[in-house]
Chains A and B, each alone.
Chain A
């Protein structure tokens, strides 16, 4: 199928008509350039949104208690609500597989010291599920596990910044860290995308904290993630259900807004997701509009080219060119110009994005970029576009009657 002479004909035609080829190429290149930039910017905006939710899992629900504001069932208002282990168990058992991960949390402020290094930190006492809820990433060692919970072991997981400050000279894992006078063995170092605060944290087993710091079963908060298979509306309903059940359980008036608080990420996530979706749609519409404008542009130019080459095509036909060979010449030329010009446009677009990245960061556009899939997809689209753009003119060219083309005007 590969016919070197055909390609030679095409390259000669392109080469001998540079202005024409450049002009038609420019339309496509520009369309693709705009397409790439738009796409990159949309990507950047999406990245910004994703970044905003990077700290914790996107399907987070946080429950924390406050004081009652209404008297209920003979209990007066102003009562401090205290969550306990049984509440944690209740949620876990009551809602079953609607709950993806769940952990209770007790928080303490401590002074951590190792050799001569010292610092004030917050300790979070948690269950192993916390790893997934906080989306911590282990840099070294291990996380809190069930064995730690069962045995009330005195182990601590430290954030990356804690490691940098206290263990600048030595490896942290395996060393003993004193937290307000009590020795804990460091078993892991983690990082977190949620910012410096999140990496200045210490994690210890919940059971250890409860036995050491209060010898009770109190918990400060419950963190959980809902089953990601739920859609936003289901998740919102689920959040409300938890609130209702907990209020019943803890004897809180239904309309008491302060005694127990449930913060459901689904609310924000729904809004953000809708916005991302809307943005994506706008980009797609504009992008494809541009692309179509490009295709129409090149189709126009190809029609013009065919008009301009009418005589040449007539001569070729008089010399024995088959309709097929005429179609191939016009079509391949169109595809070639579209593909090359489109690719140039894509490269320039990616280049512009690359250069503009630092400036765009100020406008909430983070890491605008075009993925490889898109590049491949765009290339295929281009070839298709070239075919579509070239087909009508090519067909028209093949129908040219040599007699008309050769008429002496």
Chain B
């Protein structure tokens, strides 16, 4: 599914530069649910951004679903993002003047689907996250958990191969966090490959594999016994 070899990335800070990723090797198979952990500054978000084609590595190889991701034109990157990736952000990143359904339908718009089709599909995914009744509400009228569910529905809408979640529960209370995680586990059960960046141990334990980053290198990469949310609640 995803293969990263010797990936380096540094950011310029004034005259010097900050070496964030110092040679990352990572391989993720289909159907995995991986937590990327680390303290702030460990490079976990940078790694996720590079995987999400939102940022580009300085060196190293990145192969996604058999496709080498390198020197992409903006246009190509846009197509790949749309086709392969679904994003879930800590701050939800919904467009505030669009209602839930329109937000969910946006990736489908960029896929070039017709309006009718977009709405049908959008409703389907909203139903999946249990927000059918909220389809025509603006993000400002939704609770944090609901917003994140809309964001998940939006990430799913384009039927991506890989779901990338950057601190998906970071802005939510524990109960809501677990609800969201339960839902993400369900998606994984259905076969979606999921990468979650988090710094919360309990969230990481709900994944099947934990990759720990420290100072730009992988300290630990282990498969764990998944903690099911259902039993936890």
Q: Is the interface of A mostly helix, strand, loop or mixed?
A: helix
A322→B112 CA distance, assembly (Å): 12
B97 touches A12 (CB 8 A): yes
- Minimal Cβ-Cβ distance residue in B for A319: B107
CA–CA, A322 to B87, complex, Å? 17
- Interchain CB contact under 8 A, B79 and A320: yes
Chain A min CB distance to B98 (Å): 7
CB atoms of B110 and A321 under 8 A apart? yes
A248 to B94, CA, bound (A): 95
Which residues of chain A are near B136, meaning CB under 8 Å? none
Please state if A315 and B79 are interface contacts (CB–CB under 8 Å).
no
How many residues on chain B are close to A (CB under 8 Å)?
A: 29
B75 lies within 8 A of A323 (CB): yes
- Bound complex: CA A17 to CA B154 (Å): 23
Q: Does B188 contact A (CB under 8 A)?
A: no
Residues of A within 8 A of B102 (CB): 12
Partner of A319, one of B49, B91, B106, B115: B106
Residues 64-83 of B contacting A (Cβ, < 8 Å) = 74-75, 78-79, 81-83
**Contact present for A406 and B93 (CB under 8 Å):** yes
> CB distance A17 to B78 under 8 Å?
no
Bound Cα distance from A8 to B106, whole angstroms: 12
Is B93 a contact partner of A5 (Cβ separation < 8 A)?
A: no
Q: Are A320 and B54 in contact (CB under 8 A)?
A: no
Interface residues of A in 233-279 (CB under 8 A from B): none
**In this assembly, does B39 line the interface, its C-beta being within 8 Å of a C-beta of chain A?**
no
Using CB atoms, name the residue of chain B closest to A3.
Answer: B112
Cα A319 to Cα B108 in complex, Å, equals: 9
Does A317 sit at the interface, judged by CB under 8 A?
Answer: yes
> What's the nearest-Cβ distance from chain B to residue A12, in Å?
7
Q: Which residues of B contact A408 (CB under 8 A)?
A: 89-91
- A120 CB–B CB distance under 8 Å: no
With beta carbons under 8 angstroms apart, the residue of B78, B95, B107 that contacts A322 is: B78
Q: B52 interface residue, CB < 8 Å from A?
A: yes
Report yes or no: A322 in contact with B74, Cβ–Cβ below 8 A: yes
Known: A320-B79, A320-B158, A324-B75. A17 touches B106 (CB 8 A): no
B55 at the interface (CB under 8 A from A): yes
A80 contacts B by Cβ under 8 Å = no
Q: Which residue of chain A has its CB nearest to the CB of B171?
A: A408
A212-246 near B? 1/0 per residue, CB < 8 Å: 00000000000000000000000000000000000
Contacts of A323 in B (CB 8 A): 74-75, 78
CB-nearest residue of chain B to A312: B95
- Interface segment among A61-69, A106-114, A166-174, A396-404: the answer is A396-404
- Please give the distance in Å from A236's CB to the nearest CB on chain B: 67
Instruction: Tell me if B109 is interfacial: C-beta within 8 Å of chain A.
Output: yes
Q: How far is the CA of A19 from the CA of B75 in the complex (A)?
A: 32
By size class, the interface of chain A is 20 to 34
**Minimum CB–CB distance for B126 against chain A, Å:** 16
A281 within 8 A of B: no
Q: Assess whether B110 is in contact with A311, with CB atoms less than 8 Å apart.
A: no
Q: B111 an interface residue at 8 Å Cβ cutoff?
A: yes
Q: Which residues of B contact A98 (CB under 8 A)?
A: none
* Chain B 146-159 interface mask (CB, 8 Å, partner A; 1/0): 00000000100010
Question: Known: A17-B97, A316-B106. Contact between A401 and B55, CB under 8 A?
Answer: yes
A320 close to B93 (CB less than 8 A): no
Whether A145 is near chain B, meaning CB under 8 Å from some CB there, is no
Given A5-B109, A403-B54: A398 in contact with B98 (beta carbons within 8 A): no
Contacts of A146 in B (CB 8 A): none
Q: Which of A9, A12, A311, A324 contacts B93 (CB 8 A)?
A: A311
Given A5-B115, A403-B55, A406-B54, A12:B98 Cβ within 8 A: yes
Q: Determine whether A180 belongs to the interface, using a CB cutoff of 8 Å to chain B.
A: no
Contact of A320 among B83, B89, B91 (CB under 8 A): B83
Tell whether A13 is near chain B: CB-to-CB under 8 Å. yes
Using Cβ atoms and an 8 Å threshold, which residues of chain A touch B110? 316, 319-322, 325
What are the residues of chain A within 8 A of B95 when measuring CB–CB? 312, 315-316
- Per-residue contact bits, chain B 105-128, to A (CB 8 Å; 1 contact, 0 not): 011011100010000000000000
Q: In this assembly, does A115 line the interface, its C-beta being within 8 Å of a C-beta of chain B? A: no
The distance in angstroms between the C-alpha atoms of A16 and B95, with both chains bound, is 11
Q: Are A401 and B82 in contact (CB under 8 A)?
A: no
Query: Could you say which residues of chain A place their CB within 8 Å of the CB of B111?
Result: 320
Task: Decide: A318 and B87 in contact? CB cutoff 8 A.
Answer: yes
**Chain A's nearest CB lies how many Å from the CB of B216?**
17
Whether the pair B97, A398 counts as a contact (CB closer than 8 A) is no
Task: Verify A322–B54 contact, CB threshold 8 A.
Answer: no
CB <8 Å contact, B82 and A319: yes
Q: How far is the CB of A116 from chain B (nearest CB, A)?
A: 84
Instruction: Give the docked Cα–Cα distance between A17 and B55 (Å).
Output: 30
Q: Which residues of A are found within 8 Å of B93, using beta-carbon distances? A: 311, 314-315, 318, 406
Within 8 A of B (CB), among A1-33: 4-5, 8-9, 12-13, 16-17
Q: Which residues of A contact B89 (CB under 8 A)?
A: 406, 408
Residues of B contacting A8 with CB < 8 Å? Answer: 115
Q: Given contacts A322-B75, A403-B54, list 5 more A-B pairs with CB under 8 A.
A: A311-B93, A320-B83, A322-B110, A323-B78, A406-B93
> Can you name 23 A-B pairs with beta carbons within 8 Å?
A9-B109, A12-B98, A311-B93, A314-B93, A315-B94, A316-B95, A316-B106, A318-B52, A318-B54, A318-B81, A319-B87, A319-B110, A319-B154, A319-B158, A320-B79, A320-B81, A320-B107, A320-B158, A323-B78, A325-B110, A398-B74, A403-B55, A408-B90
6 closest cross-chain pairs (CB), A and B: A320-B82, A16-B97, A320-B110, A403-B54, A322-B78, A319-B107
